[in-house]
Amino acid sequence: MCSSYLRNTIIDLRLSFTYLDNIEIKKMNVRNFLLVILFAAGTISASAQSNLLNAKTPDEIGKKTPAQLISDNDKPLVYGYVHDRDVLMGKTIWELIDLDERINFPLYYPIDTANIGKDRRSLFTVLLNGIKSGKITEVYADDYFNTKKTLKDMQSSFKYIDTTQAGIDEINNYYDDYKSGKRVLDPQFINTKDLTAQDISGYKIKGYWYFDKRQSELKYRLLGICPVSPEARDIGAENPDVIELFWVYFPAIRDVLHDAKAFNDRNSAMPITFDHLLNSRRFNAVVYKEENVYGDRQIADYMKENSQMQLLESERVKDKIRDFEQDMWNY
């Protein structure tokens, strides 16, 4: 009786130890799995901060060695080829990105480039620098990309030079001297206004929603982007009218936008490229126009002087596109 009791007790203890061993093994596996994940994340973060941590001088921050450039293979994700017969439904819409909304701040800031690193620039600064350097050539005056626009054509919108009233009085008092060239107007009598990233109020974008019947998926392709702001002459005025500065054909500038990084508020070690930010639609926008039989009229043309109804109409256009995909399925 006693020996049987001892044998059963030993068996129970063995089972208990086996159970505990299994628990420890599972704990070790989970712990090892978490360590692998943390190590991988640390490796990614370290590679993202390698230039900052290994730079010997401030000039080396943000620069990559030739070996790093080869290993990174840093190129924008290529668009897949889509045949026309694979597009079951398509709709072109125009949207407005309001830079006053917090979610759109990565497109607006930084506006002061004098007191910040060279690797951080606003979207407008990236576009303007690309146009000035010749990297961006597909610049147009309209959203249908019919008429090309040069930097010379846009100078009047970017820079405004005028003589102040005091300067006009000065010229009138010594008209003959100024006409003959004996006198030169002092710069203090010249008013100069330059359009900067601070003056950009929003972006207009043109995109194409389509249903790919081969993959049974609703997709979006960004076609163009346009900064909107007052002209340089109207900077500082009360309630100035905003204009379209220029339209850029988006697929042609993806390499430029991929090299420029937007600030990631959650993790500064992993910045987001402007190409990724715009293609993944990490912004909020309001539809202001869709292609229609009335010559692509804007919502404001038939919903006049009623902002609430215009917003509701914008949501109706979005729902109409989303509902097409939902209606393709039976539940």
| pLDDT (average), residues 144-148 | 95
Round to whole Å and give the CA distance between 108 and 227.
11
Q: What's the structural domain count of the chain? A: 2
Return the pLDDT at 94.
97
Which DSSP letter does residue 316 get? H
20 band by pLDDT with thresholds 50, 70 and 90: very low
Structure confidence by residue, pLDDT tens digits, 86-107: 999 999 999 999 999 999 999 9
Q: Which residue has the higher pLDDT, 2 or 76?
A: 76
Does residue 221 share a domain with residue 121? yes
Structure confidence by residue, pLDDT tens digits, 186-213: 888 888 888 999 999 999 999 999 999 9
Structure confidence by residue, pLDDT tens digits, 243-259: 999 999 999 999 999 99
Tell me the average pLDDT of the chain. 83
241 band by pLDDT with thresholds 50, 70 and 90: confident
Round to whole Å and give the CA distance between 74 and 71.
8
Does residue 147 share a domain with residue 212? yes
Does residue 295 share a domain with residue 202? yes
The answer to whether residue 177 scores a pLDDT higher than 90 is no
pTM reported for the whole predicted model: 0.78
| Any domain includes 58 | no
Classify 218 as helix, strand or coil.
strand
Most confident range (mean pLDDT) of 19-23, 235-239, 257-261 is: 257-261
- Domain boundaries, position 12: 2-48
User: Which segment of 65-69, 112-116, 199-203, 298-302 scores lowest on mean pLDDT?
Assistant: 65-69
Does residue 118 share a domain with residue 234? yes
CB distance 202 to 283 below 8 Å: no
Round to whole Å and give the CA distance between 137 and 131.
7
Round to whole Å and give the CA distance between 228 and 107.
13
Return the pLDDT at 50.
52
| pLDDT (average), residues 42-65 | 62
Structure confidence by residue, pLDDT tens digits, 23-44: 444 444 545 444 443 433 333 3
Does residue 40 share a domain with residue 121? no
Return the pLDDT at 191.
85
222 band by pLDDT with thresholds 50, 70 and 90: very high
The answer to whether residue 67 scores a pLDDT higher than 60 is yes
Does residue 74 share a domain with residue 42? no
Does residue 124 share a domain with residue 30? no
- For 91, 124, 186, 189, 246, the CA distances from 148, given in Å and listed in that order, are 25, 19, 38, 36, 9
